[in-house]
Amino acid sequence: MIRIVLDTNAVLDLLLWHNPELDCVARALADGGGRLLCDDACLRELRTVLRYPKFGIDETQAAALYDAYCSRIELQAMPETPDPTLPRCRDREDQKFFDLAVRTGADLLVSRDRALLRLGRHRLCPPHLRVLNPPAMQHLFAPAPGSVPSV
């Protein structure tokens, strides 16, 4: 089972815009091959972003999207203090996603943010964690050679 952290834009890609690049994540969640990990800090940001006027989402839609996401996640505990040994993201607002992924042993952090993608190549990034943008992660969900694709 692949353990996945989505940054806020990836959550919007998945649930609001239904971006086909995240269809592989949706399928993994539906068939039990994937689990979404989240914490309170990431949920706070999602609540805030869903209220941005530029998205044209009314309160009812925002609440429905938020509830849909909450029903798909495994809520993780927040640490008392951040881990000072982790590499730091140039965008302080995005650090929480990397911290969550490392703290929970996630296999994948999905983001289009260049600062987060750069952290995935940092020498202190755990070797099991892949920080990828949606197009680059498609191969992680490809069927194994010789397997019959599901319909």
Under 8 Å between Cβ of 97 and 121: no
Look at residue 151 in the predicted model and tell me its pLDDT.
Answer: 36
Domains of the chain and CATH, by start: 2-141 (3.40.50.1010)
Q: What is the pLDDT of residues 19-40, one digit of tens each?
A: 999 999 999 999 999 999 999 9
Under 8 Å between Cβ of 8 and 108: no
In Å, how far from its chain's centre is CA 39? 11
**CA-based nearest residue to 69, from 136, 22, 116, 102:** 22
Q: How many C-beta atoms lie closer than 10 Å to residue 3's C-beta?
A: 18
Q: What is the pLDDT of residues 78-106, one digit of tens each?
A: 998 889 999 999 999 999 999 999 999 99
Look at residue 147 in the predicted model and tell me its pLDDT.
Answer: 52
pLDDT category at 138 given cuts 50, 70, 90 is confident
